[in-house]
């Protein structure tokens, strides 16, 4: 069995798992943890789309 993911799918999964851990270990209250988890996930997605477009435009 092998997972064949696109760049986007792999980066999306990576962002999700990493955001969960960062949210859990960083803040002190559950509310802050949830907020921080969503915040880091949003940042990952923003970087994913931003850098993706940058590379697309850079290649011409």
Question: Which residues in this chain contact another protein in the complex, by CB under 8 A?
Answer: 1-5, 7, 10, 13-14, 17-18, 20-22, 24-25, 28
We find the least distance from the C-beta atom of residue 46 to another protein, in angstroms, to be 19
Fill in the DSSP letter of residue 28: S
10: left (phi over 0), alpha (psi -120 to 50) or beta: alpha
Cβ 36 vs Cβ 23: under 8 Å: yes
We find the least distance from the C-beta atom of residue 17 to another protein, in angstroms, to be 4
We find the least distance from the C-beta atom of residue 19 to another protein, in angstroms, to be 9
């Amino acid at each position: 069995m092998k997972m064949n993911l696109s760049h986007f799918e792999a980066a999306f999964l990576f962002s999700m798992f990493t955001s969960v851990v960062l949210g859990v270990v960083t803040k002190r209250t559950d509310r802050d943890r949830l907020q921080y988890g969503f915040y880091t996930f949003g940042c990952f997605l923003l970087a994913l789309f931003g850098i993706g477009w940058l590379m697309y435009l850079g290649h011409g």
